[in-house]
Structures are given as structure tokens and as C-alpha cells.
Amino acid sequence: MRFDRTLMTLAAVALAATPGMAPHAQSGNGNMPLDGPAIAGVCMLSREAIFANAKVGLAASARLKQLAQQAQNDIDAERKPVDTDIQAFRTQSASLSADQRQSREQALTQRMQAIQADQALRTRELEATRAKAMQQIAQYAQPVITSTYRGKNCGLLLDRNAVLGGNMSNDITAAVVQGLDAKVTTISFNLETLPASGPQTGTP
């Protein structure tokens, strides 16, 4: 039986991977970026950068990692005695009768299936918690985006991550992050509770 550390993998992702600078398409020689005049009224924004760089996003990411570590610790503690019993079963199996081996193997399989189901549930709960935190941050961010959009005299707002090149001077992401930081720096939340589903299949 093998367990992937999916809980901590999800925590490592947190709210969003920290994005780099806005992408610029390169010219044929690979040295000069596509540039040009700023287009009046056309602005750009990266929501991912807001989640990754605003203080409230960083705080939420830290909380998600904490919740994921707690969940992983619970799964590890639940799994430890079962791992010990599996090792004992493998050591003793040669001296057991066929019926004894089958009975113990079935019992161990059921215990491992229960742990796998718990791990899957925690993973779903962490993802639900992450989605709810992002939604809460988005609610705080939207009025700031609207205010910044109007303050910059924007007439069209584009996803910065979809822009292949050009003049990026009308990127309002940094201004939104600054405005959001002035409005809120942290949020509080606990792990979402979801109904359990059936156990996973597996063998020891």
C-alpha cells in the first residue's frame, strides 16, 4: 500500500503560484521585446498576482499550509499502527494457514481503505477551503479593482497573463495590490467540513 502526500502537495500550491512579470513576446532575434505605444483606455490585471502578492493572500496561503500540515499529521498518525501491523503480517505470513492469511489480509485491506478514504476526504476539504478563501479575497478585491480601473481611466480590462506583448504601462495589478493591502491584511478560516464518501480500493 502506498500513500501519495497529496495533502502537502495541495498546500504547496496554496492560493496561487507566485507569477513572474507579465509575458512579452520576443522579436525574431530573441533579444528585443515587443513594445510600442500605450493604448489609451486599455488596462491589464493579473488576478493570480493579486492572490499571490497581496498581504491577505499571503496570510491565507500560510493558513492553508498550516491546515494541510495538520491534516497530513492526522493521516500519518492514523496510518502508523496499520503500517506496523502490515509489516508484522508480512513477517508472519509464512507460518499462517491459508485461512488465517486471508482473514488478516482482508482486515488490513479494510483498514487501509478507510485511511485512503480519509486522505481523499481531507484533500477535498482542503480544496474546498482554498476555493472559499479565494472567493473571500476576491470579494475584498473587487471594489479595489473597480476603483483603480476608474482612477486610471480604463475603458477595457484584459487578463495580463493572456497578453503576448506590447506596452505594459497600463498594468494596474500593483496598484490593486497596494489598495487591497490598505483595506485588509488577513482573513480567518478553518478547514471546510465535507461529507465522507465510500472507501478507496487497495491491497496491503
Q: What are the structural domain ranges in the chain?
A: 6-14+34-183
- At residue 81, the pLDDT reads 95
- Name the residue type at position 172: I
Question: Per residue in 65-83, pLDDT tens?
Answer: 999 999 999 999 999 999 9
Kindly report the pTM of this predicted structure: 0.77
Q: Are 143 and 50 in contact (CB under 8 A)?
A: no
Cβ distance 142 to 98 under 8 Å? no
Q: Which residues pair with 43 in a beta bridge?
A: 157
Alpha-helical (H) ranges within 25-160 are: 47-53, 55-92, 98-151
Among 168, 193, 183, CA closest to 138: 183
| pLDDT tens string 111-153 | 999 999 999 999 999 999 999 999 999 999 999 999 999 999 9
Residue 198 has pLDDT above 70, yes or no: no
Instruction: Write down how long the chain is.
Output: 204
Q: Let me know: does 49 contact 180? Beta carbons within 8 Å.
A: no
Within 13 Å, how many C-alpha atoms sit on residue 31's CB side?
1
Amino acid (1-letter code) at residue 162: A
Half-sphere exposure of 75 (CA within 13 A, CB side): 25
pLDDT band (50, 70, 90) for residue 33: low
Could you give the 3-state DSSP secondary structure of residue 43?
strand
Residue 78, all three cell numbers: 492514523
Q: What is the pLDDT of residues 85-120, one digit of tens each?
A: 999 999 998 898 999 999 999 999 999 999 999 999
Burial string for 38-51 (b: 16+ CB within 10 Å, else e) reads eeeeebbbbbbbbb
pLDDT at 38: 87
If we measure between CA atoms, which residue out of 118, 126, 123 comes closest to residue 82? 118
Q: What's the whole-number mean pLDDT along residues 10-25?
A: 48
- Cell output for 187: 482573513
